[in-house]
Amino acid sequence: MKKLRLGVLASGGGTNLQSLIDCCADNSLTAEIAIVISNNPDAGALSRAENAEIKTCCINHRDFDKRAAFDNRVVQQLQESGVELVVLAGFMRIIGPIFLEAFPQQIINIHPALLPAFPGLHVQQQAIDYGARFSGCTVHFVDNGVDTGPIILQAVVPVLEEDRADDLAARILIEEHKIYPQAIQLFAEGRLQIEGRQVHILPTDPNLGSR
Ligand code: GAR
């Protein structure tokens, strides 16, 4: 099976990126990371990509007057790299119509809460403050809302009495590193079918053979 070309957008430390790098390396993910783009020059994700000899590009949003100009620049870079799936891995910028038109149903995100509960920012603290007993993470297609697109996979973790936001974030990240590669592998195998809000997971195609 041909490897799916990923474009990873990341703003932070890049542990999700690292799990994707590792899964590509051990062939549990039939994909290759064509480019890693960050809006943050200091993102740990950029050094992780460089260490793995993956092409990187920093496009600092502060260098652009208008969001559309930034979005166009990122989209151009993704297209020049032949990206087939845009993977948001801790990318802290809103995805606008320019992205969505360039990559229809080809942008996915991971969010550190069980959507539709707690969209937005600081969501581990939100789950604790709300008194939720469980939280988790969600991989979803990106649409024109904030954390509202059709859900692909979710994983659940407990929220413990003594948890601070960092504790819960760390417990959730362990699950993120499992379900993000799984979701991308399903996409790579052509097994995700969107129908309204539902994402159907199709059975394995026997013609694909073993990987
Ligand atoms: C992850 O927890 C991811 O779910 C979250 O940022 C973190 C990035 O960590 N994403 C969002 O909150 C998106 N709104 P990482 O840089 O170590 O992968």
**Residue 163 main-chain phi, psi, to 5 deg:** -60, 135
Read off the tokens for 117: 């509960």
Other CB atoms within 10 Å distance of the CB of residue 136: 24
| Residue whose CB lies within 8 A of the most ligand 1 atoms, among 9, 16, 39, 153, for a mutation test | 16
pLDDT at residue 163, as a whole number: 98
Please say whether the beta carbons of 23 and 29 come within 8 A.
yes
User: Which pLDDT score is estimated for 43?
Assistant: 98
Q: Which ranges in 26-145 belong to alpha helices (H)?
A: 44-51, 67-80, 97-102, 123-130
CA of 173 from ligand 1 middle (Å) equals 8
Whole-model pTM: value is: 0.97
Q: From the candidates 61, 111, 140, 177, give the one annotated as an active-site residue.
A: 111
pLDDT digits (tens, 9 = 90+) for 5-44: 999 999 999 999 999 999 999 999 999 999 999 999 999 9
CA–centroid distance, residue 89 to ligand 1 (Å): 6
Q: Give yes or no: 140 in active site.
A: no
Closest ligand 1 atom to residue 18 Cα is 18
**What is the number of domains present in the chain?**
1
pLDDT at residue 210 in the model: 47
**SS3 for 31?**
strand
- Cα distance between residue 132 and residue 97, in whole Å: 33
What is the block-wise mean pLDDT of the chain (211 residues), using blocks of 10 residues? 97 98 98 98 98 98 96 98 98 96 98 98 98 98 97 98 98 98 98 98 77 46
CATH number at residue 134: 3.40.50.170
Our measurement of the distance from residue 199's CA atom to the centroid of its chain's CA atoms, rounded to an integer in Å, reads 16
Max Cα separation, the chain?
Answer: 50
Q: Domain range holding 194?
A: 4-210
* Ligand 1 pocket check for 90: Cβ under 6 Å: yes
What is the rounded CA–CA span in Å between residue 111 and residue 192?
A: 19
